[in-house]
Amino acid sequence: MAAIKTVVRQLGLIDYSETYAQMRDFTAARGPDTADQLWFLEHPPVFTQGQAGKAEHVLAPGDIPIVQSNRGGQVTYHGPGQAVVYVLLDLHRLGYGARDLVRRLEQAMIETLAGYGIAAQARPDAPGVYVERDWADGPRGQRPEQRKIGSLGLRVSRGCSYHGIALNVDMDLEPFGRINPCGLAGMRMTQVSELGGPADLGRVMRDLEAVLLNKLGPTSL
């Protein structure tokens, strides 16, 4: 049987609630021969709260809407200039599970960032991708401060995943200060353009797409 190719969709700037409904509908309707899909997009400003999210992690949302989601994790922020990728995969067909998918997605972000000379790493206790360095606006005379650059949240239904990752490229980071990002009190955020990488969202999405298509195959790690 010929391999089923992954469909890549470029959706542009699209409302979070609309995309969330589309992901659920796609996952509910898919069958054993439905092609996997990767959706690349941006969202207008929105806070999304994970299934087990705690209200106390939303500090001062102001005029930015909060949308309840069924993904894992706590609250995060999406806005223009952030590369969002939703991964709609049949994990049974690919032969790996949710934990392995998390590792592959983190590694894809890490490898993409490495291509820009940005050293990043994952954490065993908090999904996502982090950068550790001495920041010009950070504490002096202390150990390097860790900041978050990529977030991750998934849902798996009947062996199929949806939701995905968000990599900060060139965006307004101020709204992250209105929440405890991913439930991490005091965690500050950073982005590709702040660390000497490209501010071109399209370029970052293309680079990330190439790495993801390699990492998410049945044998790649």
Residues designated as active site: 182
Query: What are the structure tokens assigned to 221, written together?
Result: 């790690």
How far, rounded to the nearest angstrom, does the alpha carbon of residue 219 sit from its chain's CA centroid?
22
Phi, psi of 86 (to 5 degrees): -100, 130
How many Cα neighbours within 13 Å face the side chain of 42?
Answer: 16
Length of the chain: 221
Contact 26, 7 (CB under 8 A): no
* Alpha helices, H only, the chain: 16-29, 91-94, 98-114, 201-215
Whole-angstrom Cα distance, residue 221 to residue 214? 8
Buried b (16+ CB within 10 A) or exposed e, 30-59: beeebebbbbbbbbebbbbbbeebeeebbe
Query: What are the structure tokens assigned to 213, written together?
Result: 């298509």
Whole-angstrom Cα distance, residue 204 to residue 56? 33
